[in-house]
Amino acid sequence: METKTMEISELREEAARVLGTCVAALKEAGKIREGGQIVLGCSTSEVAGARIGHGSVPAYGEVIASAMLDACRSNGLHAAFQCCEHLNRAIVMERSALESRGLIRVHAIPQPKAGGSVPAAAWKLLDEPALAIAVQADAAIDVGDTLVGMHIRPVAVPLRPEFPTLGCARVVMAYSRWPLIGGERAVYKE
């Protein structure tokens, strides 16, 4: 894998474009209402061109977390951030969002090498950060193969991003739709 050093200003511009476009596309395709939640899983190692977990870039984490927060706020949505496996993929979010969803709160403070650079940065950027053990969000964005799909409410519907990479990392995303039940006689439209 090719390592790519990006200037912070270059990453700031790219992250704003990529995440802004992804959040807007997910909101529209998933018909996500105001107050909905999108989870971001991101490996700054992968963004920089290193193997996931082997080249964390804390400065990239701050830029990416900030871009995600801006994109969600401008769309009336709540951002959440998946930690790495060292924190059992727990989710960083505003305490008010955690409490309004009735989620189980756990205690840890993410660090770049124990939680990940993006969640650690998000922890510092949020007004009242809290850590949930898990969430069933309306949608998710995965930057760098972090396997964020475990935090999307069933049924997950993949959506191809307009910009398929952020730095050197692949970007994939999905929104959720309600499960259809009832068979051929069921009616789904009112």
- At residue 184, the pLDDT reads 76
Res. 88 pLDDT band, cuts 50 70 90: very high
- At residue 187, the pLDDT reads 84
Q: Which of 142, 151, 190 is nearest to 170 (CA)?
A: 142
Half-sphere exposure of 19 (CA within 13 A, CB side): 32
| pLDDT at residue 1 is higher than 50 | no
pLDDT tens column, 89-144? 999 999 999 999 999 999 999 999 999 999 999 999 999 999 999 999 999 999 99
- At residue 158, the pLDDT reads 97
| pLDDT at residue 14 is higher than 70 | yes
Q: What pTM did the predictor assign?
A: 0.93
pLDDT tens column, 22-71? 999 999 999 999 999 999 999 999 999 999 989 899 999 999 999 999 99
The rounded distance, in Å, linking the Cα atoms of 159 and 31 is: 13
Q: Which domains does the chain have, with CATH numbers?
A: 8-178 (3.40.50.10360)
